[in-house]
């Protein structure tokens, strides 16, 4: 195996471990201002989901934070310099798809490939997903996609109902059947990042004069880009894995300007913004306690708040609320999301209940 691909596997595996650690830490430590940040605040796509709400009302959608914007900034920077570097080298879901593709080839010997026209039509699924998620998130004022997001299903380590299990099952089946099916047909972030492949000089290029048309590049491409029909690979479905470059048997025929520069720029661009903001104290991934003082609408009540917080913020009698909700004294100081779940109720029930109490006031 080429050194480049070894590096890629090593980095991707590290990203899977990092995502699993972040998800597990949140489950073990809990959320809120003093807890561990939710997995959602470590996803660049969270910035896209919260952008409209942030622009209109100046507030983040619950579970998103400055960290999402910073990671998205790093992603855009890396995309400007190295195209869809994130998809091929950093995304934990990309790593999982590569692993299931490998397992599928071991078990079944091959993967399926949709016809060219179907592949092209389905690739717009990414943009359809993008529009639906952005619009629905804005109007619902919550992360509507989180229950169906494979990133969350795999790394959140909480199975409250059958949906994450179903998502994981479908994701594994899809990845085993069709190489990088999620990236190619469904991933809203991948669709967005792929557009940057049209820019930048660090793209694989093919010299038609020396190409012997062996089609090795076409065969190894995980997203079925027709490399032998291109002189520069700018397709939005390319995940910048460089497998084609590594597979070409003719020197100086399918190349990228500098693999080292590509890797260093891609990594630095993505990781420097979170590192610098961590050091300077700008990074924010957990909610701040001051948010409690700012709430003036029951819709703003978050799962990490306590009944004590809510009673204080709205000037309501904590003991009366606790009695009516069937909570013990100790439970008034615990996170509402868990407390309400134990009572078989969700946060919307609580928000509606508080709204009623405010009307009675």
Q: Tell me how many residues contact ligand SF4 (CB under 6 A).
A: 29
Q: How far is the CB of 213 from ligand SF4 (least distance, A)?
A: 5
- Find the binding residues for ligand SF4 in span 189-208 (CB under 6 A): 204, 206
* Rg of the chain taking only CA atoms, in angstroms: 23
- Find the binding residues for ligand SF4 in span 38-67 (CB under 6 A): none
187 vs 350, which CB is nearer to ligand SF4?
A: 187
Phi-psi sector, 83: left (phi>0), alpha (psi -120 to 50), beta: left
- Find the binding residues for ligand SF4 in span 121-150 (CB under 6 A): none
Cα(317)–Cα(308) distance, rounded to whole angstroms? 9
- Residue 340 is a binding residue for ligand SF4 (CB under 6 A): no
- Residue 247 is a binding residue for ligand SF4 (CB under 6 A): yes
CA dihedral for 28, 30, 35, 37, sign (positive or negative): positive
How many Cβ atoms sit within 10 Å of the Cβ of residue 335?
Answer: 20
Choose, by CB under 6 A, the member of 137, 253, 285, 306 that binds ligand SF4: 253
- DSSP output for 141-160: TS-TTGGG-HHHHHHS---S
180 vs 335, which CB is nearer to ligand SF4?
A: 180
180 vs 357, which CB is nearer to ligand SF4?
A: 180
Q: How far is the CB of 263 from ligand SF4 (least distance, A)?
A: 13
89 vs 155, which CB is nearer to ligand SF4?
A: 89
For 292-314, give one letter per residue: b (16+ CB within 10 A) or e. beebeebebbbbbbbbebbbebb
Task: Calculate the CA dihedral of residues 90, 93, 99, 104 and round it to 10 degrees.
Answer: -150
- Residue 212 is a binding residue for ligand SF4 (CB under 6 A): yes
Choose, by CB under 6 A, the member of 77, 211, 268, 272 that binds ligand SF4: 211
- Residue 79 is a binding residue for ligand SF4 (CB under 6 A): no
87 vs 133, which CB is nearer to ligand SF4?
A: 87
Counted residue by residue, the chain has a size of 361
CA distances from 295 to 61, 139, 143 (A): 13, 19, 19
Cα(11)–Cα(90) distance, rounded to whole angstroms? 7
Choose, by CB under 6 A, the member of 111, 141, 228, 284 that binds ligand SF4: 228
> Which of 107, 138, 98, 81 has the alpha carbon at shortest distance from 270?
81
Which positions touch ligand SF4 (CB under 6 A)? 204, 206, 211-217, 220-223, 225, 227-228, 233, 238-244, 247-248, 250, 253-254
């Amino acid at each position: 195996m080429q050194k480049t691909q070894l590096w890629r596997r090593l980095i991707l595996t590290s990203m899977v471990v990092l995502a699993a650690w972040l998800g597990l830490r949140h489950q073990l430590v809990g959320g809120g201002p003093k807890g561990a940040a939710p997995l959602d605040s470590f996803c660049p796509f969270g910035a896209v989901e919260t952008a409209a709400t942030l622009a209109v009302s100046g507030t983040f959608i619950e579970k998103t934070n400055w960290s999402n914007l910073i990671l998205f900034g790093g992603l855009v920077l890396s995309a400007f310099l190295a195209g869809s570097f994130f998809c091929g080298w950093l995304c934990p879901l990309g790593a999982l798809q590569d692993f299931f593709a490998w397992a599928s080839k071991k078990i079944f010997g091959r993967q399926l490939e949709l016809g060219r026209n179907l592949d092209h039509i389905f690739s717009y699924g990414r943009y359809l997903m993008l529009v639906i998620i952005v619009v629905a998130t804005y109007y619902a004022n919550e992360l509507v996609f989180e229950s169906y997001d494979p990133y969350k299903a795999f790394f959140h380590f909480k199975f409250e109902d059958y949906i994450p299990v179903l998502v994981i099952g479908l994701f594994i089946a899809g990845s085993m059947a069709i190489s990088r099916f999620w990236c190619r047909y469904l991933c809203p972030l991948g669709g967005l990042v792929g557009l940057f492949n049209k820019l930048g000089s660090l793209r694989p290029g093919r010299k038609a004069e020396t190409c012997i048309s062996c089609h090795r590049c076409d065969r190894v491409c995980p997203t079925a880009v027709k490399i032998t029909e291109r002189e520069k690979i700018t397709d939005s479905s390319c995940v910048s894995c460089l497998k084609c470059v590594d597979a070409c048997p003719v020197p100086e025929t399918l190349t990228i300007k500098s693999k080292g520069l590509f890797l260093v720029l891609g990594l630095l661009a993505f990781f420097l913004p979170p590192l610098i903001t961590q050091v300077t104290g700008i990074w924010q991934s957990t909610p701040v306690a001051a948010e409690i003082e700012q709430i003036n609408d029951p819709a703003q009540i978050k799962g990490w708040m306590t009944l004590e917080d809510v009673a204080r913020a709205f000037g309501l009698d904590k003991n009366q609320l606790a009695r009516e909700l069937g909570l013990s004294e100790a439970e008034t100081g615990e996170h509402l999301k868990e407390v309400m779940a134990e009572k078989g109720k969700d946060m919307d029930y609580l928000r509606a209940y508080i709204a009623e109490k405010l009307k009675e006031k």
